């Protein structure tokens, strides 16, 4: 919403002559990330991580379900105090599983951010060069700007993907070596 208002303000403030010279483009960064080679690799890593963690959670959930059934079956023969204690312990284990799930979700989000940070930086470099080279006044992100409609000719996503996969946004080998 904020970005949309900013764009509208930008367009209404510009005089008609400046508006005629304004060149606007947009990209779908989410699609670009998913369609680059590095993005596909990152997605595979995240899927492996998610699958491993989901398997761990599923095993714990099955174990708890079985213990819950066993506890319910023992209810009739168990002393009420003992049953109440076992029930509390069982509830604590369920809560622990929920907290583990939340923790694993946060870890997946952090890993996704880590894996995509470099990709986004390279895409930013490419878009800066592209914007200057082709005379764009502004390049918007399609979903963040809430672009409802724009001609396909303003969409720079395919060009961004091609340039990214060609290595255009990567830092030079000298700067990589100096970091090591």
| Domain boundaries along the sequence of the chain | 2-179
pTM of the model: 0.68
Q: Write down the residue that tokens 């005379």 correspond to.
A: 135
pLDDT given for residue 12 in this prediction: 57
- Cβ count near 172 (within 10 Å): 8
Per-residue pLDDT of the chain (180 residues; tens, 9 = 90+): 555 555 555 555 555 545 557 899 999 999 999 999 999 999 999 999 999 999 999 999 999 999 999 988 888 898 999 999 999 999 999 999 999 999 999 999 999 999 999 999 999 999 999 999 999 999 999 988 888 888 999 999 999 999 999 987 675 444 444 444
Give the SS3 label for residue 150: coil
Q: Which residues pair with 155 in a beta bridge?
A: 26
In DSSP notation, 56-99 reads: HHHHHHHHHHHHHHHHHHHTTTS-HHHHHHHHHHHHHHHHHHHH
CA dist 140 and 6 (Å) reads 11
Residue 155 CB neighbours (<10 A): 17
Q: What is the DSSP letter of 155?
A: B
């Amino acid at each position: 919403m904020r970005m949309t208002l900013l764009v509208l303000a930008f367009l209404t403030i510009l005089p008609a002559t400046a508006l005629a010279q304004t060149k606007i483009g947009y990209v779908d960064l989410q699609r670009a990330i998913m369609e680059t080679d590095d993005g596909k690799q990152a997605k595979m890593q995240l899927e492996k991580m998610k699958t491993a963690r989901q398997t761990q959670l599923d095993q714990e959930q099955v174990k708890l379900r079985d213990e819950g059934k066993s506890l319910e079956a023992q209810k009739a023969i168990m002393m009420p105090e003992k049953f109440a204690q076992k029930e509390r312990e069982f509830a604590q284990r369920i809560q622990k599983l929920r907290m583990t799930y939340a923790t694993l979700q946060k870890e997946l989000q952090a890993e996704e951010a880590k894996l995509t940070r470099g990709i986004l930086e390279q895409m930013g470099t490419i878009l800066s060069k592209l914007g200057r080279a082709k005379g764009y006044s502004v390049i918007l992100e399609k979903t963040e700007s809430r672009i409802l409609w724009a001609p396909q000719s303003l969409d720079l996503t395919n060009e961004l993907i091609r340039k990214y996969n060609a290595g255009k946004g990567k830092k030079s080998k000298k700067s990589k070596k100096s970091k090591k």
